[in-house]
Amino acid sequence: MRIGVLTAGGDCPGLNAVIRSVVHRAVAGHGDEVIGFEDGFKGLLEARYRKLDLDAVSGILARGGTILGSSRLERARLRQACEETEDLSRELGLDALIPIGGEGTLTASSMLAAAGLPVVGVPKTIDNDISATDRTFGFDTAVGVATEAIDRLKTTAESHQRVMVVEVMGRHAGWIALESGMAGGAHGICLPERPFSVDALCAMVEERFARGKKFAVVCVAEGAHPAEGQMDYRKGEIDQFGHERFQGIGNRLAAELEDRLGKEAKPVILGHVQRGGTPTAYDRVLATRFGWHAVEAVHRGDFGMMTALRGTDIVMAPLADAVTELKTVPASRMDEAESVF
Ligand code: F6P
């Protein structure tokens, strides 16, 4: 078989582990040929690809980023791209395509599958917001980075009697803020799913200072926003890729807390640090299992599906299910987090 693989959308620790696993299972396990498209769907549309053999994927398991490169495709170009991709994959003699990506990539993959292309998707995102799978690889790494940041910020905050506002990624789902906030013992956690109260955050800080704990750390997701009338804050605009660009809630909230409390409050924006670098052992294992199962699905002819984690098992889920709605943090998980404030 001739199998194409590509990585698209924002990068994520563990992408190389999937590529390596696909090549190992396909080439060594089934005697297939694997080609890797460069820079996501752009490379597919421009027929930019290279052969991936065992040597090509040697030593990449622990490497962050993606050896294939990645790119985002504007939504407007998606449908047109699907038609072009159809012709191209026939010209290239592809028996299957394995796109590894998040919501946008899985949407494109679902469209390609609906057009009759033999596609098996692999979900990835540090945001953990793909609904058809319990977890995505990259999330564990991002939570680890953010947790370490909170741990570190606590000691410096305490030395200087400051409030630290740490902004983590998560445009529409607050999984990283929730889990790093819990693991790091943040004193306030603000998620996109529930508008937060600045009054409550101020009361929490005052209460801590009153009992001698003269510092606080607030963990805020980039997509979090204040409840009506709490603070002047405008959510972002939609960019050319269909993504909402935020105005910097971390900076804005730190300034607001400083003004209201009369205490120093510093913003720390973690940004792409959460996405870079080596994946954790958990993410390497999940990514490797996804790669193995994607190749098996190709050989079964299980197209229009994606790999997914259910409990501890890897199962196949329809690509269409992955993109219907984002997996956001349920109220019950937020309630648990509030008990640790
Ligand atoms: O989808 C993952 C994600 O990390 C989001 O949490 C974040 O808003 C976004 O990507 C930023 O990506 P980029 O800067 O590459 O557009």
Q: For the residues 282-310, what does the mean pLDDT come to?
A: 98
Nearest CA to 124 out of 330, 297, 295, 294 is that of 294
The reply to whether ligand 1 has any atom less than 6 angstroms from the CB of 64 is no
Tokens 């943040």, located at residue? 186
Residue with CA nearest ligand 1 atom 15: 10
The beta-strand segments (E) located in 222-338 are 237-238, 244-245, 265-269, 305-310, 313-318
Q: Which of 82-86, 140-144, 199-203 has the lowest mean pLDDT?
A: 82-86
Q: Which of 1-5, 106-110, 121-125 has the lowest mean pLDDT?
A: 106-110
Nearest CA to 216 out of 227, 226, 201, 229 is that of 201
| pLDDT surpasses 80 at 271 | yes
Q: For the residues 246-260, what does the mean pLDDT come to?
A: 91
Tell me the DSSP string of 222-241.
TT--B-TTSS-----EE-TT
127 is catalytic: yes
Q: For the residues 330-338, what does the mean pLDDT come to?
A: 90
Residue with CA nearest ligand 1 atom 16: 10
State the pLDDT at residue 338: 78
Residue with CA nearest ligand 1 atom 7: 169
Q: For the residues 72-81, what does the mean pLDDT come to?
A: 69
Q: Report the C-alpha gap between 216 and 235 in whole angstroms.
A: 25
The reply to whether ligand 1 has any atom less than 6 angstroms from the CB of 102 is yes
Topology match between the domains 2-138+279-322 and 142-275: yes
| pLDDT surpasses 70 at 296 | yes
* Ligand 1 centroid – CA 10 distance (Å): 6
Q: Which of 84-88, 206-210, 269-273 has the lowest mean pLDDT?
A: 84-88
| Percent of the chain that is helix, strand, coil (3-state, to 5) | 40, 20, 40
4 contacts 95 by C-beta, under 8 angstroms:
no
Q: For the residues 71-93, what does the mean pLDDT come to?
A: 75
pLDDT interval class at 89 (50, 70, 90)? confident
Q: For the residues 298-309, what does the mean pLDDT come to?
A: 97
227 contacts 193 by C-beta, under 8 angstroms:
no
Paired sense of beta strands 163-168 and 188-190, if any: unpaired
Q: Which residues are annotated as a binding site for Mg(2+)?
A: 103
Q: 204: Cβ–Cβ under 8 A, 6 or more apart, which residues?
A: 187, 188, 216, 341
3-state secondary structure of 74: coil
Nearest CA to 271 out of 167, 194, 197, 171 is that of 167
Domain ranges of the chain: 2-138+279-322, 142-275
pLDDT interval class at 222 (50, 70, 90)? very high
Side chain identity, residue 264: E
Q: 142-275, what's its fold? A: Rossmann fold (3.40.50)
- The DSSP bridge partners found for residue 222 are none
**Averaged confidence pLDDT in the chain:** 93
DSSP symbol at 272: G
Q: Report the C-alpha gap between 159 and 146 in whole angstroms.
A: 20
Q: 2-138+279-322, what's its fold? A: Rossmann fold (3.40.50)
* Ligand 1 centroid – CA 257 distance (Å): 26
Burial of 268 (0-12, 13-18, 19+ CB in 10 A): buried
Considering 32, 127, 129, 140, which one is annotated as catalytic?
Answer: 127
Q: Report the C-alpha gap between 178 and 143 in whole angstroms.
A: 9
Best residue among 127, 237, 326 to mutate for probing ligand 1's pocket (most ligand atoms within 8 Å of CB) is 127
State the pLDDT at residue 91: 84
State the pLDDT at residue 339: 67
**H or E segment at 36?**
strand 33-37
Atom of ligand 1 nearest to the CA of 246: 8
State the pLDDT at residue 237: 74
293 contacts 123 by C-beta, under 8 angstroms:
no
Q: Which residues are annotated as a binding site for substrate?
A: 125-127, 162, 169-171, 222, 266, 272-275
State the pLDDT at residue 76: 63
State the pLDDT at residue 340: 59
The reply to whether ligand 1 has any atom less than 6 angstroms from the CB of 171 is yes
pLDDT interval class at 230 (50, 70, 90)? confident
Q: For the residues 189-212, what does the mean pLDDT come to?
A: 96
The reply to whether ligand 1 has any atom less than 6 angstroms from the CB of 169 is yes
The reply to whether ligand 1 has any atom less than 6 angstroms from the CB of 10 is yes
State the pLDDT at residue 75: 61
Q: Which residues are annotated as a binding site?
A: 10, 72-73, 102-105, 125-127, 162, 169-171, 222, 266, 272-275
CA distances, 319 to each of 104, 223, 288, 304 (Å): 12, 26, 19, 6
Burial of 324 (0-12, 13-18, 19+ CB in 10 A): exposed
Tell me the pLDDT tens digit for each residue of 130-173. Answer: 999 999 999 999 999 999 999 999 999 999 999 999 999 999 99
State the pLDDT at residue 86: 73
Best residue among 70, 141, 274, 275 to mutate for probing ligand 1's pocket (most ligand atoms within 8 Å of CB) is 275
* Ligand 1 centroid – CA 48 distance (Å): 25
In degrees, to the nearest 5, what angle opens at C-alpha 85 toward C-alphas 81 and 88?
140
In degrees, to the nearest 5, what angle opens at C-alpha 209 toward C-alphas 207 and 213?
110
| pLDDT surpasses 60 at 341 | no
Q: Report the C-alpha gap between 97 and 108 in whole angstroms.
A: 12
